[in-house]
Amino acid sequence: MKKNKRGEIWISAVLYVLIAALAMVLILQAGMPLLTKMKDNTAYSRSKDTMIGLDRQIRDVATEGQGSQRVIPLEVRQGDFIIDDSRIRWELETESKIIEPRTKVSLGNVNVYSNADVETRVDNNKITLSNSRIKAVFNNAKSPPEVNINGILTELYYIDENGIENSIDTSDFAFNLACNPGANAGLGYTELLPPGNNSRLGSAKLIFHMVNGNQPCAESYDVEFILESEADFIKTRIVNVVSK
């Protein structure tokens, strides 16, 4: 009888151990995302405060005149701290939703971006919009020449997982208004928002302003090309149509 009782105790102990182990696994599986989010939130808050304090020190030095110096201790426990092109950046890759994706929060001179991978480049004759998945090159039409809008998009690439740019044929790109499909030329110019060379944007917009279009139904109109973070397509829409 004792032997059976010992067996029952041993079996019960094994069951308790198995149940306890299973409970521990479930707790860890459920708790790890929360712990990771708490850790990333803490890293974000510390780095944000560090950047705000650093900006304050820089502004103080600037007001004190030439020769003023500061020794500023910096502690970065997580993420990457980068100084380049007269910019100071802290970057953290995380799956935690610390702030809303594709957003920008401005804290004085400190800007916080989430899932922001859009870049813009302006050269003499072209404007480039790109992110991690797609790159589009447009004619930089200046104020305001005779322009055919069908030639506004000159190059288009999709970017694979290895970062290699693969060309897409743009010869079929065409833009038409229903009232006169063949009339695509007129006086127009391009505008980039935000202007200039930028990186880490949530989105960017190229606007083609047709100020004197060869259209019987429209005196003027704007065509917007919008690229958002992590998107593999470009939004296009017509706005501000002034009818004849």
Same domain, 137 and 105: no
For residues 88 and 164, state if they share a domain. no
pLDDT of residue 95: 72
**99 & 162 share domain:** no
Query: Among residues 171, 174, 131, which one has the least CA distance to residue 155?
Result: 171
Q: Are residues 95 and 147 in the same domain?
A: no
Q: Tell me, yes or no, whether 65 and 147 share the same domain.
A: no
pLDDT score of 155: 92
Residues 108 and 133 in one domain: no
Q: CA distances (Å), 78 to each of 45, 47, 184, 190, in order?
A: 11, 9, 53, 41
What is the Cα–Cα distance from 153 to 176, expressed in whole angstroms? 14
The answer on 54 and 129 residing in a single domain is no
Q: What does the pLDDT read at residue 129?
A: 96
pLDDT, one tens digit per residue, over 53-71 is 888 888 888 888 777 887 8
Q: What is the pLDDT of residue 182?
A: 56
Secondary structure (3-state) at 161: coil
Q: 192 with 122: CB under 8 angstroms?
A: yes
78-122 pLDDT tens trace: 878 777 666 777 777 777 777 777 677 778 888 787 777 899 999
Do 124 and 108 belong together in one domain? no
What is d(CA 234, CA 138) in angstroms, rounded to the nearest whole number?
12
Strand partners, 210: 188, 221
| Overall residue count recorded for the chain in this entry | 244
Decide which of 113, 135, 162 is a domain's last residue: 113
For residue 66, the model assigns a pLDDT of 79
Same domain? For 104 and 122 the reply is: no
pTM above 0.75, yes or no: no
Same domain as 221, residue 124? yes
pLDDT at 138: 93
User: Using CA atoms, how far apart are residues 126 and 122, in angstroms rounded to an integer?
Assistant: 6
Position 85 scores a pLDDT of: 65
Tell me the C-alpha distance between 200 and 229, whole Å. Answer: 9
Number of domains in the chain: 2
> Residue 203: which of 224, 230, 220, 228 has the closest Cα?
228
Sites in the chain below the pLDDT cut of 50: 1
* In a shared domain, residues 205 and 239: yes
In this predicted structure, what is the pLDDT of residue 119? 92
Among 113, 132, 165, residue at a domain's last position: 113
Range of the domain at 47: 2-113
Q: Decide which of 56, 83, 113 is a domain's last residue.
A: 113
On whether both 127 and 174 belong to a single domain, the answer is yes
The DSSP bridge partners found for residue 112 are 105
AA identity, residue 88: I
H/E stretch holding 136 reads strand 134-139
Q: How far apart are CA 139 and CA 147, in angstroms?
A: 10
